[in-house]
Amino acid sequence: MPVTKNKPTTSSPEGSTLESSSHIAPEQEEFRQYLRRLAVSAVQVLIEHVMREELEQCIGASWGECTPTRRGYRNGSYTRDLVTPTGRIEDLQVPRDRAGAFHTQVFERYSRYEPEVAEALTDMFVVLPSRWWRIRTSLPLA
């Protein structure tokens, strides 16, 4: 009957280096993705707040306020996607007014990309492939 050898309770430095390096990369990547999602979420909250403030200035009254200088009424919001240098913001709530006079200054109408991202995308199709890789790696798209 063969005798089983006891495995050492402490691992060798070489074995731990190989095991830990294989575990570090996925954890670091998960952490980077978590930070990216957190940054995109923070940018979304900030943009939505700014747009609500813009609508308030356009209407001339805050939510539920009755003033003689009021120039219109809110009419809910619609959702859209926006690609920013931070990453893609999905389901961004864009407020609107009843008259349709409000247009946010945060981004251009009918635009889905921030100007920097649109410029980089245009460059990808115009420039040589060697420069394309450099442009692609500089974009923070998720």
Q: Is 89 exposed, middle or buried (0-12, 13-18, 19+ CB in 10 A)?
A: middle
Total-model pTM: 0.62
Per the CB < 8 A criterion, the answer to whether 78 and 96 are in contact is yes
- pLDDT the model gives residue 51: 92
Write down the domain spans for the chain.
23-138
Tens-of-pLDDT digits for all 142 residues of the chain? 555 555 555 554 444 444 444 455 778 889 888 988 988 898 899 899 999 999 999 898 888 888 888 888 888 999 999 888 888 899 999 999 999 889 888 888 777 776 666 566 566 555 555 555 566 666 665 5
- pLDDT the model gives residue 19: 46
- pLDDT the model gives residue 20: 47
Beta strand spans in the chain (E): 74-83, 88-97
Q: Is 72 helix (H, G, I), strand (E, B) or coil?
A: coil
Q: How many residues appear in the chain?
A: 142
Supply φ then ψ for residue 56, to 5 degrees.
Answer: -60, -40
